[in-house]
Structure 1
């Protein structure tokens, strides 16, 4: 995809991977950025950081768990700023706890933001992309969308679901010249994970590394962008030696002292 002269909408753009992707898009020549997040101050800071680049930035303070507000805001943005050519669904929430200590409200929040929020935005944008016969939709999953991890059961479930959703949508929208891409970063050093207990032996990536790999994959037209050598190694190991990979996950998981922890990138 050539992004020069295009308009992109990025959710979860106030921090972490979403913020890094927004900056990378601006540096690569995107014409207009619609940035969605709940935190007005942080979103304003991102817009300030982009002032030196030749990009128009439109901050949209939205809670993706409120579909009516999202519907109205996106319809108005499309009317005011023109067609959106690239959608990056990056907003997400992560809660960590052994399953037997998990709490239903936290599960509901993960499903609401990670899945329902993504669905709401995608449905609104995809319909318009189909009408204009052009567009790319990027759904940010995770390595945990390929390998379910102890203490992250419901988060892993939502990330697996994002991959299934993306695969189904890819088949449906291909005839309309709308591409659907899955982005699968491994552990990334962001605000969202610093408050979680990390798996032993995992070397975190930076959001900037993920953003660069995202851009490379986008230009290549890859349907899935698996980020980091650890991700590639883990997926290969799981494919050929699934029992070994399961034991590795059990050994490296922070089970003995795991407590309920959470954060978001919205």
Structure 2
């Protein structure tokens, strides 16, 4: 995909990977960026920095868990600013806890933002892309959408689901000239993971690196984009020696399994 002159919508654009992707698209010649997130103040800060690069920016301060508001906001944006050529579903939340200590409110939040919010945005935009017979949709999953890890059960479940959603849409929307792509970064150094207990031996990558690999994948028309050598190694190991990988992940987990035995 040639990004120059295109209009892109990026969710979760106020920080982390979404913010980095927005900047990378601007530097690659995007004409207009629609930035969506809950935090209007942080969005405005990002918008000012990107506008300095000569790119038009539209702020959409929306909560993805409020589907009616999201649908109305996106419909208005399409009407007022024209067709969207590229949708990047980057918004997401993650909570780290052993399953037996997990809080239902956090489980609901992860499902509502990571899955239902993504579904709401995609449904609204994909229908309009289908009418114009053109579009690209990128759903940001994770290495944990391929290889689940202890202490991240719900997050992994949502990221596995995103891969299934992406694969299904890829077949359905191909007839409308819409390509649907999965982006799978490994652990990324963002605000969201600052309070996490890190897995041993895992080296975080930068949001900028994720954004650069995404843009390269868009140019190559890749269907699934793995980011980082750790992702490639883990997926390869999961294919040929899944039990070995499970043992390694158990050894690397930051929370003691002995601590969980108290609840059994």
- TM-score range (shorter-chain normalised) is over 0.9
8 Å contact kept, 1:97–1:258: no
Residue 95 of structure 2 aligns to a residue in which SS?
strand
Shift >2 Å, 4+ stretches: none
What residue is the counterpart of 2:208 in the other structure? Answer: 208
2:179 alignment counterpart: 179
> What is the CA distance between 1:51 and its match in structure 2?
2.2
Deviation for aligned residue 1:217:
0.5
Determine the C-alpha separation between the residues in 1 that align with 2:8 and 2:54: 14
Tell me what 1:51 maps to: 51
1:212 & 1:91 partners in 2: Cα distance? Answer: 18
The CA deviation string for residues 64-91 of structure 1, in whole angstroms up to 9 with x for no partner, is 0000000100000000000000000000
Compute the RMSD of aligned alpha carbons. Answer: 1.2
Instruction: Give the match for residue 71 of structure 1.
Output: 71
Partners of 1:164 and 1:183 in 2: how far apart?
13
Q: Which runs of 5+ in 2 are unaligned?
A: 260-264
State whether residues 151 and 258 of structure 1, in contact with CA within 8 Å, keep that contact through their aligned partners in structure 2.
no
Aligned length: 259
Q: Verify the 8 A CA contact 1:197 1:258 in the aligned structure 2.
A: no
Q: Does 1:254 align with 2:254?
A: yes
Quick check: 1:20 aligned with 2:20? yes
Structure 1 match to 2:38: 38
Q: TM-score, normalised by structure 1?
A: 0.96
Give, in whole Å, the separation in 2 of the partners of 1:65 and 1:195: 23
Partner of 2:87: 87
Q: Render the CA deviation track for 1:158-203: whole Å, top value 9, x for unaligned.
A: 0000000000000000011000000000000000111111101101
Gaps of 5+ in 1: 260-266
Superposed CA deviations along residues 211-261 of structure 1, whole A, max 9, x for unmatched, are 0000000110000000000100010001001010000000001122999xx
Pairing 1:4–2:4 present: yes
Moved more, 116-125 or 249-258: 249-258
Q: SS of the counterpart of 2:51? A: coil
Say yes or no: does 1:142 pair with 2:142.
yes
Kindly report which structure 2 residues correspond to 1:108-123, keeping only aligned pairs within 5 A, or say none: 108-123=108-123
Q: Which has the higher contact order (CA 8 A, sep 6+)?
A: 1
State the SS of the aligned residue for 1:58: strand
Q: Which residue of 2 aligns with 1:262?
A: none
Alignment partner of 1:220 is 2:220: yes
Instruction: Show the counterpart of 1:164.
Output: 164
Question: Normalised by the size of structure 2, how large is the TM-score?
Answer: 0.97
